[in-house]
Amino acid sequence: MYLAPIPTLSCLDLIRDFKYHLIESYWLVTYQKYREFYEELSKEDGHYLIIDNSEGIGHRVEDHVMMEWADRLCVQEAVIPDINPVKSGDLDGALKSLELAKHFKDENQNSKYTFMGVIHGRNLEEAARLLRYFKDDVCGFPNKSFIPREILMQYCNVPPERRHMLGASSVTELLRLSTRRIARSVDTNMPFRGAASNCHFMAYTDDRAPKFSPEMKIYRERASVFLMYLEKALRHDK
């Protein structure tokens, strides 16, 4: 299983050599350093870029903004907007997500990249509707769902190479699922969040701590070690 890191601004250089990347649209429009990094990365060979509308981090951008950046960065994959009933509190989220997906696909039917549909629901019947609709797309399984995503992925008839795990609940979960080769890839900010333990900043922006401060050095070293460990642990084909 491939790791698609979601780095903090101070750690962008640590993920340059990774194949898979999950790009937050909100950070593209907010931080110059972030967009310049991915503009450069998009010109290099060997990368698989996935763009998301940043709903998961609480800063959803408009669909047309995400797609403009998808074109600009020549991404390989775009996550279709959805309404997760767990996060939104909208119990009709799965049904509304289906309507959103139909509209989104109609609006972007001439796009050159693959789409990722998000699978969730209050029950298997609702999830099955989304699975049927996204049967020819990549299916994304969020870490917050009424139905555990491990069950959803077992229920899913889409092959593992077209399954992606959106977020990570724990290292234990990732290691357990990776040994089963149940999904192609997973995105997470876990190495960077974990590295900030006992530090006084998360370093999402450059002004949280001086660039060459001892704390920043410790933070980057921790993140680098965590990142290398997790990437190696998930890649059983190496």
Alpha-carbon distance 183 to 181, whole Å? Answer: 6
Cα angle, residue 21 at apex, residues 186 and 77 outer, rounded to 5°: 90
Q: Are 59 and 86 in contact (CB under 8 A)?
A: no
**Tens of pLDDT along 79-105?**
999 988 777 777 677 889 999 999 999
Q: Are 153 and 182 in contact (CB under 8 A)?
A: yes
Q: Give the number of domains in the chain.
A: 1
**Tens of pLDDT along 39-53?**
999 999 999 999 999
Is residue 203 very low, low, confident or very high in pLDDT (cuts 50, 70, 90)?
very low
Alpha-carbon distance 50 to 18, whole Å? Answer: 13
**Tens of pLDDT along 163-184?**
999 998 788 888 888 888 899 9
**Tens of pLDDT along 2-29?**
999 999 998 999 999 999 999 999 999 9
Residue 114 confidence (pLDDT) above 80 = yes
91 phi/psi in degrees, rounded to 5: -70, -15
- Domain range for 93 is 2-234
- Provide the b/e sequence for 179-192 (b: ≥16 CB within 10 Å): eeebbbbbbbbbbb
Cα angle, residue 188 at apex, residues 103 and 217 outer, rounded to 5°: 135
Which pLDDT belongs to residue 202? 52
Sign of CA dihedral 48, 189, 152, 82: negative
Which pLDDT belongs to residue 185? 96
Task: Residue 135: give its domain's CATH number.
Answer: 3.20.20.105
Is residue 200 very low, low, confident or very high in pLDDT (cuts 50, 70, 90)?
low
Helix, strand, coil shares, percent, the chain, to 5? 45, 15, 40
Sign of CA dihedral 98, 101, 106, 107: positive
